[in-house]
Amino acid sequence: MNILLAALLGLGLSASTGLNTFLPLLLFAGAARFNLGGIELGQRFEWLTSDVAMTVLVIAAILEILGDKIPAVDHFLDSVGTFIRPVAASLAAAAALTGVNVDPTIAAIGGIIIGTPTSLGFHTLKAATRVGSSAVTFGCANPVLSAIEDLISIGVSILAIFAPLVVPVVLALLVFVLWNVVKRLRTTTPPAAAG
C-alpha–C-alpha distance, residues 49 and 98, integer Å: 14
Rounded CA separation 143/48 (Å) = 30
Whether the per-residue pLDDT at 169 is higher than 90: the answer is: yes
Give per-residue pLDDT as tens, 100-110. Answer: 888 889 999 99
**pLDDT band of 190, cuts 50, 70, 90:** low
Burial tier of 146 (Cβ tally within 10 Å: 0-12, 13-18, 19+): buried
**What tens digit of pLDDT does each residue of 20-47 get?**
999 999 999 999 999 898 898 888 899 9
Nearest residue to 4 (alpha-carbon basis) of 96, 89, 112, 86? 96
Measured distance CA(180)–CA(149) in Å, rounded: 15
The predicted model gives 44-67 an average pLDDT of: 95
The whole-number pLDDT of residue 138 equals 80
Q: Where are the domains of the chain?
A: 3-187
If you ran DSSP here, which 8-state letter would residue 189 be given? P
Average pLDDT over residues 117-124: 92
- In angstroms, the CA 20 to CA 118 distance is 13
pLDDT band per the 50, 70, 90 thresholds, residue 74: confident
Handedness of CA 46, 5, 153, 73 (dihedral sign): positive
pLDDT tens per residue across span 84-96? 999 999 999 999 9
